[in-house]
Amino acid sequence: MVRESKTALAQDDTPISFREVLGNRDFLLLWAGQIFSQLADKIFLIFMIALIRLEFTRPGEDAASSALISALYMAMSIPAVLFGSLAGVFVDRWPKRLMLAGTNLARGILVLFVPLLPKEFMALLLITFLVSTLTQFFAPAETSTIPLILERRYLLVANSLFTTTMMGSVILGFALGEPLLALVGVTHGNWLVGGAYVIAGFLLLGLKAHEPPADPTNQDSVLDDIKEGLAYVWSNSQVRAAMVQLVVLFSIFAALSILAVGLSKTIGLKEEQFGFLLAMAGVGMALGAWLLGRFGQRFQRSTLAFWGSLVIAGVLAALALVKSLIPVLALCALLGLAAAIVGVPMQTVIQEETPPDLRGKVFGLQNNAVNIALSLPLLLVGLATDAVGLQAVILVIAGLCLLSAFSLRYANRRVKL
């Protein structure tokens, strides 16, 4: 059944502090669980790559190592496309507390048992595939739980805090993952990663999500539930516009992860140092999320997203023209800041506008769309860069971002987000 949407206006211009939001016990547990789960996700990837290099490649076999690591990335990516929408259906049907805790405990157990696996590359791929599959269930459950434990006026600040934490975990996870694995030894890395998942699971067991009981008379099939989620997204212009904006945003960052390699060469860095550009974008995103948490509730959601998109388009155009290290690093930080100003309000709109019994389905569809948006640029951007050049590709992406910004503005001219 399709629901009528509510008007999503800025709720209150009274500043809300992070401390006030963290004063909610259930949100504090959810946030702490996110910290351990996100760090485990990032270090898990480094752990798997380190195991591949230790057990399945020899020094000088760079081509073989790259092929195995590519297969590992495929094993992590396929579940996101296959199970995103399906996971969202079960998030609405099952208790979210058990979903959140269970997926983390299950991932922890899988990783802890890695040393007992046969010394076969396919065994590592299977574990990676299973861990990634469980992650597809955890992600929509986490996003759906936030509006169950917090009042509507706290959602923007809560999402800002979650985004800050997520970007911090990306920076810290990738920065500290290798030193931590070196400290405990690669062969004992399962205790580090699996332990973090288990801690997250036990923290989330203490959560009270205050969710309405499931309808025992519901006889709808999984396909019917997915169709219901699609129908709601299509019928609600605010949710649809916000989701499109998020898909565009993630597509831009996926493209940037590829373009950063070529961009690093133009500013005097080595190709393998492209991570500096992405790290600066992460720092900017964390800063933008923090600023939104402090001041964002004073502005309408669509206004934030519109101006953030304009800044992204301008920064991308500048990146196509600037060829000096310091200005490019500053632009990358500004790009991340603007991305937060787009992403956090749009995520908040979807939470505010979606009824509790549809959130899992909608966020499952969102995860599916975002994961496809993350995958397509990996296939297309490299080919386009070879065909027309780095500068032209960046300018085209800037133009698409600009088009998206004005499309969103037009879509919400009559109903303000």
The DSSP H or E segment spanning 182 is helix 155-184
- In the three-class reduction of DSSP (H, G, I as helix; E, B as strand; rest coil), residue 209 is classed as coil
User: What is the spatial distance between Cα 200 and Cα 18, in angstroms, rounded to a whole number?
Assistant: 21
196-241 confidence digits (pLDDT tens): 999 999 999 998 877 766 554 555 677 777 888 888 888 888 888 8
Is the pLDDT score of 307 beyond 50?
Answer: yes
pLDDT of residue 170: 65
pLDDT of residue 6: 41
pTM, full prediction:
0.76
Is the pLDDT score of 132 beyond 80?
Answer: yes
Contacts of 213 (CB under 8 A, 6+ apart): none
Distances (CA, A) of 138 to 91, 99, 399: 9, 7, 35
pLDDT of residue 273: 66
pLDDT of residue 5: 40
pLDDT of residue 174: 62
User: What is the spatial distance between Cα 333 and Cα 284, in angstroms, rounded to a whole number?
Assistant: 4
pLDDT of residue 8: 39
- In the three-class reduction of DSSP (H, G, I as helix; E, B as strand; rest coil), residue 361 is classed as helix
Q: Taking the CA of residue 225 as centre, how many other CA atoms within 13 Å lie in the half-sphere pointing to its CB?
A: 23
pLDDT of residue 7: 36
Question: If you average pLDDT over every residue of the chain, what do you get?
Answer: 81
Closest listed residue to residue 166, CA positions, set 22, 42, 350: 42
234-292 confidence digits (pLDDT tens): 888 888 888 888 888 888 877 777 777 778 778 877 765 666 787 788 888 888 888 88
Of the listed ranges 85-89, 394-398, 408-412, the one predicted with least confidence: 408-412
Is the pLDDT score of 399 beyond 80?
Answer: yes
Six-digit token string for 194? 């699996």
User: What is the spatial distance between Cα 68 and Cα 75, in angstroms, rounded to a whole number?
Assistant: 11
* Residue 324: band (very low, low, confident or very high) from pLDDT cuts 50, 70, 90: confident
Average pLDDT for 395-417:
74
pLDDT of residue 205: 93
- The four Cα atoms 162, 163, 167, 169 give a dihedral, to 10 degrees, of 10
User: What is the spatial distance between Cα 254 and Cα 250, in angstroms, rounded to a whole number?
Assistant: 6
221: left (phi over 0), alpha (psi -120 to 50) or beta: beta
136-145 confidence digits (pLDDT tens): 899 888 888 8
Of the listed ranges 39-43, 322-326, 374-378, 412-416, the one predicted with least confidence: 412-416
Distances (CA, A) of 46 to 39, 53, 186, 269, 333: 11, 11, 10, 23, 24
* Residue 1: band (very low, low, confident or very high) from pLDDT cuts 50, 70, 90: very low
5-37 confidence digits (pLDDT tens): 443 334 445 667 778 888 899 999 999 999 999
